[in-house]
Amino acid sequence: MKTRITSAAIAIALAATAPALYARDHSAMDSEGGANQSPTGSMSGKLLENDHMAMTPVRQVAPGDVERGNEILRVMREKLSKYRDSDAAVGDGYDPFMPAIPQDVFHFSSREITTAEYLGDFALTRPGSLLYKKKTFGGYELIGAMYSAPPNATPEQLDKLIPLSLSQWHAHTNICLPQGVTLQDAMNGVMPMRPDIHSTGSAARGGVRARFGYLADRRFGFTGTIAREDDCGAANGSFHQQIFGWMVHVYPFSGDDFRVAFGREVP
C-alpha cells in the first residue's frame, strides 16, 4: 500500500530538518516530580488530546475499513518482522532517539524515510519510525511502527492512509521554545543548555536539569505550561502552532484486536 500526498511547501520547510525521532505521556520524572517534556516524553505513554496535542476525531466504521485494518496489520507483520533485531534496524538507517532517557517506548527513526513521509510518500513497508520497548535484561523488543504525514494533510487524506475509524492521528501543537533554541533543535531532539541551569541550585539538582537541557524549565516544550502565543512572547520564546507532521502509532504484534493494535496506548 503506497499513497502520495504532494506538498512543495513541506519540502521547503521540513526536508532539511526532518527528525531522526519521535518519541511521544510522561515517562521520565525529574527530582522535583516534573515530567520529561521532550517529544520523547510526551509520546511514550497514552496519547491524550490537550493544548499541546491535536488528535483526529474518531469516525464511524466505513465499508471496507475492517478489511483495510486487517491488511495493514498483515503487511506490517510480514515486512517489519526483520526488525525484531534492533541491530538490523540500525543497519537500515533507523537511529534510536534519545536512548539515554527512560521511555515507555523507544523510537528508532530514519531521517530519510521521515522526510519522504513529510513530502507525502507513504508506504506501510517503510515506516519513518520503529517502536521498541526495552527488555528487562537488555536489548529491545519490537512492538510497532510510527507513520507520519505532512502537517497540512486533511482528515480525508489521513483516512486514506490509516482509517480514522480505527486509529487517531496526532500532532504536536502550540509549542513555545525558549530563546536560543531553534525549531531545528526541537525537531532533532537537541536540548542545548541554558547558561543559568548550572548557576543555581545544588549539584544534584543541576545534574538533573543538565540531563534535560532547556526542557527543565516547565514553561517550555511539548508539555510546557505555555500554550498561547502571547504568553510565549512574554517569556521571550518563539511560538510554533505545530511541530512535526501528523503521526500515528500502530502495534501489529499485539494481536488482532483493533482497539489495541490501533490504540492510543502502548500495549
Task: Name the residue range of residue 82's domain.
Answer: 2-261
The pLDDT-based confidence of 211 (bands split at 50, 70, 90) is very low
Q: What is the pLDDT of residues 30-81, one digit of tens each?
A: 323 334 444 544 444 566 778 899 999 989 999 999 999 999 999 999 999 9
The pLDDT-based confidence of 164 (bands split at 50, 70, 90) is very high
Domain presence at residue 240: yes
Domain presence at residue 266: no
**Mind spelling out the 3-state secondary structure of the chain?**
CEEECCCHHHHHHHCCCCCCCCCCCCCCECCCCCECCCHHHHCCCCCCCECCEEECCCCCCCCCHHHHHHHHHHHHHHHHHHHHCHHHHHHCCCEECCCCCCCCCEEEECHHHHHHHHCCEEECCCCCEEEEEECCCCCEEEEEEEEEECCCCCHHHHHHHCCCCCCCCEEEEEEEECCCCCHHHHHCCCCCCCCCCCCCCCHHHHHHHHHHHHHHCCCCECCCCCCCHHHHHHCCCEEEEEEEEEEEEECHHHCCCHHHHCCCCCC
Domain presence at residue 150: yes
- The pLDDT, as a whole number, for residue 31 is 29
Domain presence at residue 47: yes
Domain presence at residue 167: yes
Domain presence at residue 267: no
Q: What is the pLDDT of residues 81-92, one digit of tens each?
A: 999 999 999 999
For the chain, what is the domain count?
Answer: 1
